[in-house]
Structure formats: C-alpha cells, structure tokens
Structure 1
Amino acid sequence: MRTTLDTSRKPSLFTRWSQTAMAVCLGVMAVSVFVNVVLRYGFGSGIAASEELSRLLFVWMVFIGATAAYPAGEHMAFTSLVAGLHKHPQLMMALTLLIRCLVVLACSLIGWGAWQQVVVGLDSYSVVLRYPTALLPLPALLCALAIGLMALIELVKRTPLDLGHGTDVE
C-alpha cells in the first residue's frame, strides 16, 4: 500500500525559514570550497578560513535540517510496525507514548551534553576566523530543545503518531 504526500498545502513559515537557512548554508559552503580549490590548484594559495567556515555551516545545516524534519515525520521510523498496530488502538497509543518519552529523554541527554560543550567553548576561539567555538555545539543544543519541546507538546496533547508519509508494507 503506497500513499502520496499532499503537496497542495502551502509550507509553514518554519519550513520555509529552515529550507532557506539550509540553502544559504549550502550555497556559502559550495562557493567557499570552490573558490578555495581554484585558488589552491590554480594559483598555489588558498583561503585558510574556507575550511573553518564550511565546517561551521555544515554543522548548522545538519541540525537545522534535523529540527525541520521532526514535525514533518521525516526521521527514521519503523513504519511496518506502526502500520501493523493501527488495528490495536490501545497498543498503538501506548507505543506512541513510549516513543515520545524516549524522544524527550534522548533530547534531554543530547541537550545536556551540548550545553556542556557550549560552556566549554565560550572561552576558546577558532584558529582562523576567531569565532567562539561554542558556535559548533550550539545548533545541537537548539535542535535538542526544539525537538524535545515538540515531542513534549505531542506527549501532553496525546497526539496520535503520524509519520507524515505513507507506509510501505511488503
């Protein structure tokens, strides 16, 4: 059984913002690396800041994408298990509550670890660009807070599990 997504709906402001932010990160990374490669191989010199900038933007892009993927149901899921449980609403609700509790727990652990890294990075700076190294773990903290909050709201509201896409059962 295969269903398709409803593409007629207008994307939310959060979706548009996150897609724009990821596109900007990817565009700046691509231009920076391309210019650095041309300078290095064509002229024997490069831009030292290119690697640091690309690394920082890549980390931010990944966590922006992870945050945007959660409400859309685009994270990895066991869709065949969920599809089989739709016939048992009580079990499905119990599994949904367990999944949401585990998501909140995982976000708490990731957020706590990221917070510790942010605090450590406040007093140190990157070698070339001199930005505070706290900017590298900061998107992990923000992502954990955002996903944890969304999962907590879904847990309190007892929102049914919706993966945002059709299930493929073979």
Structure 2
Amino acid sequence: MNQLLKSAIAAFYRLLEVIMVLCMVVMLIMVFGNVMLRLFLNSGIDLSEEMPRFAFIWLTFLGAIVGLHRRAHLGVDMVVRALPLIGRKVCWGISQAIMLICAGYILYGTWLQHEIIAGNASPVAQISTLWVYGVSYVTGTAIAIICIANLVRLLLGMVEEHELIDVNEEGMSEIQEVEHELAEQIARKGS
C-alpha cells in the first residue's frame, strides 16, 4: 500500500511537470510565432496574446506546488540555523501552519469568486475563465495537503533534521548535500 501511494504521488508530480513543460512550449511557440508574423507579414494571431498569458498563470501556480514539494522556494535561514533542534522544529511547524492557512485562503477566495470567474469568458478564445483561474483550486488543495502531511510527520517525529532547513545552500550540489548529511550523522553517532 505504501509503495502504491508513493507511486501515485510520483505520478502526480510527473503530471504537473509535463503540464508545466507544455505551458512553456505553448508560450514559446505562440509568442515567437506572433513576433515572426508581426515582423515579416505585418499581421498576428489574436489568440497568441491570450493563450501564453493563460499558460503562464498555470505554469506559476503548478510551479508553486512542485517547488514546495522539492523544497525549492527561496528563504532566509540564518536565524533558523542558529537555533537548537527544538527551535528548528517549532519554526518549521509554524511555517507549515502559515502556509496551510494561506492555502486555505487561496481555496476560500477562489470559491468566493467561483461564480464570477465561471461566468466570464476570455475576450478572444471565449472560454470560461474558470479554465484559467480554476488552477488555484488545484494549487490551494495540493499545498494544503503537503502542509498537513508535513505537520502530521512533525507531530509523529518523522521529520528528519535536514528537512527543518528549507533553504539549500547556494552552489551546493545534491551529492555534496548527501555527503554533508552523512558526515553530520556520523558525527552525531560518534558523540
């Protein structure tokens, strides 16, 4: 069961990454194509103004989910690194709780605007803007689930020490991070 859940989670993030790549391809092709048409044929495609903007919105919102999952968001860790382990856990728990509240506000705000968003059509494509801004339902839900899972793991003592610092040192490769973690574990066991 655990392996099935891990496979489903990996498939979900893989799907998000594929959608993000498709958004980037749409943006690249439509903007570049429109620039070339305007430059050489003095014309353009009206849809090329709207669709890249919509793709950018999806790219941004889905990227927030993937970034949270990979712990890739920007942050300042100077104070947290100076704290003892219990202080790091408290700060990490507070940050997860704040992100959970923000995710709740994203969901609530989208729900409040649902009828307005669903009732409006985009000017050129004439599609419901719910197809554009409805991605915030996905983002708010996914971020809330990630934060709840992290808080549960924290309460059960399943969060590892290296996870408490959400900022990766600049220029440090993944291999260097693993080596650094191993050295810390060896040093702790030797003490």
AA in 2 matched with 1:132: S
Per-residue CA deviations over 1:106-146 (Å, capped at 9, x if unaligned) read: 11112211222333111121111111011222112211110
Map of 1:104 onto structure 2: 100
TM-score, with length taken from structure 2: 0.73
Q: Distance in 2 between matches of 1:95 and 1:165?
A: 13
Give the superposed CA RMSD.
1.9
| Equivalent of residue 30 in structure 2, options 6, 10, 32 | 32
TM-score, with length taken from structure 1: 0.81
Work out the number of aligned pairs and report it.
155
AA in 1 matched with 2:65: T
AA in 2 matched with 1:53: M
Map of 2:15 onto structure 1: 17
Bigger helix share: 2
Per-residue CA deviations over 1:83-118 (Å, capped at 9, x if unaligned) read: 222xx2222222222111111111111221122233
Q: Distance in 1 between matches of 2:168 and 2:46?
A: 46
* Structure 2: runs of 5+ lacking an equivalent: 1-9, 171-191
Instruction: Tell me which of the two structures has the higher relative contact order, counting C-alpha pairs closer than 8 angstroms and 6 or more residues apart.
Output: 1
* Structure 1: runs of 5+ lacking an equivalent: 1-11
AA in 2 matched with 1:101: A
After superposition, residues 36-115 of structure 1 pair within 5 angstroms as 36-85=34-83, 88-115=84-111
Q: Is the 8 A contact 1:111 1:144 kept in 2?
A: yes
AA in 1 matched with 2:34: N
Q: Is the 8 A contact 1:80 1:167 kept in 2?
A: no
